[in-house]
Amino acid sequence: MRIQEHPLLGQGDRYIDKWEAFFAGLIEGGLSWAFDACGHHYLNLSAMVLNARECRAMEEAHGRVVVLYNEMLALVRKFPELLCDLGIPEPLHRLCLRDDIAALTAYGRFDWMVGADGEPKLLEFNAETPGGILEATSAQRLITCEYPGFLDPNADTASRVLDSLANSVTVQGGNSLSSPVAVIGFLDDPEERAILHYIAQAYGNSFVGDIRTLEVGPEGATVGGRWAELIYSHYSVEWMAKDRGGAAMMAALESGVVRLVNPPKTLIAHSKALPAVAWIARDRLSAAAQEAIDRHLPRTAFEREALMDSITFEKPLHGREGRGIRKLEPREPGSSGFGDVVYQEGVSVTALEFPTVRNGRVVREPLFPTIGTFCIARQPGVMGEFGGYFTRLGPDVIGAANVRWVPTLVEK
C-alpha cells in the first residue's frame, strides 16, 4: 500500500481552492469535522492506494473473520453465560438470545492494521453505530474523478449499505409498520445529525428525531411525540439499558411493541471481549475459524499478565471508534478493574509518510493506516458481506485523536 499524492499538493492556493470546491457542500451539509483539533485537514485529496493483491487479501481476511464471528455467535447461544464475559448488561441477556430476531448487523465495520508480515490484523469490530459512511460514500465519490487511472472499490458502497439497512427493516417486520421508522441520535451534534439523515434515506417512511425526546411505555414508544414501532438508534441499546427508563425500554423490546433495526444481539459481535473468548475457545471451533484466529486476530486476553512482555492495548469492552484505548509498554501494569477491559497484543506496523495539510502548509509526517471494511447484510440472517473501505491515518497504531481520512483506491 502507498500514498498517492494529489497533483496540486504543494501548489498553495490552487490545492486549497480545489479542496474547498470538493468539500464545501459536505461541510455545509453537516460534515463539520473537515479539520481536526490541531488544524490539520481531516478530509484529504491525496489517496491510499492498494494493489490488486492487497485488495484481495483484505477482502479474503474480511470473509474469514465473518466465518469466525458467525461461529462465535452460535457459541454464545450455546453457552449464554459468556454474555457476562462479553460485558453485556444483564437486562439485555434474554433479548440477545431471542430466536425470533435474525442474527445480523444492519451495517458494521471491521478495523484492520496490516502487519509487518503482510497479513491484515483485526483491531476491532464496530457493530452498532460505525462512523465513516459519509466519507466512504459522499466524499470518496467526489474525489475519485481526480484519479482516472485507479479503480474505486467503494463505487457501490452507498447502495450496498442502504440496501442492508432497508433489508433489516423487512427482517424486523417493517413491511407491516403503521408508523414511520424513527432514526434517532443527538441532533445537536452536526456529525451525528448528518449520519442520521444519511441513514434515513434507506427507509421510504421515516423521520429523524432526538434521542432525548424518546418516551417508552407499555403501549410503545414515541420520539418527539410521534409513534415509533421500529427505531434505528445511533445511541447504543447498551446505554439505553443503563439509563433512567431503561427498564421500560427493555420491557417494550421484550413484548415486541418496540423493535430496533440493529437488535440487541449485535452487542455480542460488537464486544471487544469476543476475540479474547475466541482465543480461549479456539479448539472448539472449525478449521476455518481457527485459521481466521491464527492469521488475523492479535492475541487478546482478559488479564494483563497474559501479555505482560508485549506492547499491549487496553480496550474498554464496548468502546467505539478507538476511544478509551490505552497503550501499555512491556511490563506496564493495566487497570485494576477486571471485567471492564481486555488486553490486545500490539501489531507491528510500518508507518507511511503522509502529506498533512495544516493551515495551508504541507507537512510530511509518518502516520499509521487503519483500514476499515464495512460489514453488511443484504440477505436475512447473513453477516456480513464486504461493503467497501474506510481508511484513516493517525500518529498512533490505535486511536481516535488527530486522524486523517483518505479515499481508498485500487491499482488497475
Task: Kindly list the averaged pLDDT for each block of 10 residues, start to end, along the chain of length 412.
Answer: 91 84 70 54 88 96 94 92 92 82 70 91 84 87 89 93 82 66 89 86 88 91 91 87 86 89 86 95 97 97 92 84 82 79 91 84 90 82 81 80 88 92
Cα distance between residue 174 and residue 181, in whole Å = 8
The dihedrals phi and psi of 176, each to the nearest 5 degrees, come to -105, 10
Residue with cell 434474554: 94
With beta carbons less than 8 A apart as the criterion, state whether 235 and 185 touch. yes
Residue 391: what pLDDT? 94
**What residue type is assigned to position 9 of the chain?**
L
Strand partners for 210: 185
Residue 30: what pLDDT? 57
Please give the angle made by the CA atoms of 341, 244 and 215, to the nearest 5 degrees. Answer: 125
The answer to whether domain 173-260 has CATH 3.40.50 is yes
Residue 308: what pLDDT? 93
Residue 324: what pLDDT? 79
Tell me the domain boundaries of the chain: 2-172+261-411, 173-260
